[in-house]
């Protein structure tokens, strides 16, 4: 089955505004864009997402997948985003079965807002099987944190956005920022779904421009058979809440790294599904909240004031 047809709608990610500072002086700064995108599924209004607008098609696809409204990309024929009217029109191949029922149960999650999750997200948790042998080398963790640190981002220009990134085998595959971090993770899910699809799919559909930055989000060229689950690492600037951890697990990611911390339910879910949750990751520091056996300590920092010691494997 061919990949769904996705538009590539673009819109500016920042806006310059005039503010007044503590001296009573005017200055110009950038703030992140934020726009509403109303999602229609087979002409039926489903939801309005507030987004930065970086990758709206993948956002919508990932949203539908993460909400379990569609099972795979094969269910989608096309996603057409038109910023002039703030609408994403989703055409499914066979409709969504019992959509009314499945959008009726509301869980308002932490986010750091009130995330709406249709359906019983937690119901899935016990069916998730993450690769038991997947590990992350400490040296690779440091590389990942550094890669994010060096990147040009909307955050550096305008602040007030969250970033998520997917690394496979230590290499950045896809990076996205959004005003809502759940949007960011949904966008990654959408991108992954396209890239998880068998090679056959890739012969058409929405491919990246020639010579595009790999992190732009095209299919990883050297991984025609998808993204090896055991080598996936998900990075987020946001907190590891339950919803964040569940979504990561649903995407088959065994290791999650956050610049921020974790909440109690995030931790409980991570422990339950066998996910290695790492937080407070900055420079050489981090805390592993769950399943530390997935970390290979090959780059233990030297204790302060002590002569260098060999790294411990």
Q: Scanning residues 133 to 172, which ones bind its own copies (CB under 8 A)?
A: 138, 158-160, 162
Q: Which one of 140, 173, 206, 260 is in contact with its own copies (CB under 8 A)?
A: 260
| Beta carbon of residue 19, minimum distance to its own copies (angstroms, whole number) | 4
Total interface residues for its own copies by CB under 8 A: 71
Binding mask 264-283 for its own copies (x = CB under 8 A): xxxx----------------
With a CB cutoff of 8 Å and minimum separation 6, the contacts of 306 are none
Question: Is residue 86 a contact residue for its own copies (CB under 8 A)?
Answer: no
Q: Which is nearer to its own copies, 227 or 278 (CB)?
A: 278
Q: Which one of 146, 301, 309, 313 is in contact with its own copies (CB under 8 A)?
A: 301
Question: Is residue 28 a contact residue for its own copies (CB under 8 A)?
Answer: no
Of residues 222, 228, 165, the one with CA closest to residue 196? 228
Q: Which one of 1, 9, 107, 220 is in contact with its own copies (CB under 8 A)?
A: 107
Query: Around 224, how many Cα atoms within 13 Å sit in the side-chain half-sphere?
Result: 5
Listed ranges 2-10, 31-39, 123-131, 200-208: which one lies at the site for its own copies (CB under 8 A): 31-39
Most distant CA pair in the chain: distance in Å? 67
Question: Is residue 32 a contact residue for its own copies (CB under 8 A)?
Answer: yes
CA geometry: angle at 109 spanning 262 and 238, to 5°? Answer: 40
Question: Is residue 311 a contact residue for its own copies (CB under 8 A)?
Answer: no
Q: Which is nearer to its own copies, 150 or 306 (CB)?
A: 306
Q: Which is nearer to its own copies, 60 or 76 (CB)?
A: 60
Residue located via tokens 């610049």: 259
Of residues 138, 134, 140, 169, the one with CA closest to residue 296? 138
- How far is Cα 122 from Cα 246, in angstroms, rounded to an integer? 8
Question: Is residue 252 a contact residue for its own copies (CB under 8 A)?
Answer: no
Q: What are the angstrom distances between the C-alpha of 304 and each of 146, 279, 282, 298, 300?
A: 21, 22, 17, 18, 12
Cβ(117)–Cβ(103) below 8 Å: no
Question: Is residue 85 a contact residue for its own copies (CB under 8 A)?
Answer: no
């Amino acid at each position: 089955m061919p990949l769904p047809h996705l538009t590539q709608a673009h819109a500016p990610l920042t806006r310059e505004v005039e503010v007044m500072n503590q001296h009573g002086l005017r200055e110009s700064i950038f703030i992140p864009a934020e726009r509403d995108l109303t999602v229609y599924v087979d002409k039926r209004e489903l939801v309005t997402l507030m987004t930065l607008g970086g990758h709206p098609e993948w956002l919508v696809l990932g949203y539908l997948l993460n909400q379990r409204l569609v099972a795979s990309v094969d269910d989608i024929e096309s996603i057409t985003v038109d910023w002039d009217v703030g609408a994403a029109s989703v055409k499914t191949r066979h409709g969504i079965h019992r959509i009314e029922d499945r959008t009726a149960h509301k869980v308002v999650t932490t986010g750091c807002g009130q995330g709406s999750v249709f359906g019983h997200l937690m119901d899935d948790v016990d069916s998730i099987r993450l690769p038991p042998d997947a590990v992350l080398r400490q040296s690779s963790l440091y590389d990942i944190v550094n890669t994010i640190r060096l990147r040009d981002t909307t955050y550096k220009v305008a602040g007030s956005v969250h970033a998520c990134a997917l690394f496979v085998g230590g290499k950045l595959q896809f990076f996205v920022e959004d005003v809502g971090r759940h949007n960011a993770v949904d966008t990654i899910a959408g991108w992954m779904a396209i890239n998880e699809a068998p090679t056959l799919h890739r012969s058409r559909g929405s491919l990246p421009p020639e010579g595009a930055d790999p992190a732009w989000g095209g299919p990883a060229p050297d991984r025609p058979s998808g993204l090896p689950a055991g080598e996936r690492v998900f990075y987020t600037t946001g907190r590891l809440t339950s919803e964040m951890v569940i979504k990561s697990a649903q995407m088959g990611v065994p290791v999650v790294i956050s610049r921020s911390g974790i909440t109690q339910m995030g931790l409980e879910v991570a422990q339950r599904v066998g996910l290695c949750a790492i937080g407070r990751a900055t420079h050489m520091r981090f805390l592993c909240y769950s399943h530390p056996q997935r970390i290979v300590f090959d780059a233990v920092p030297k204790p302060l004031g002590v002569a260098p010691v060999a790294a411990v494997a």
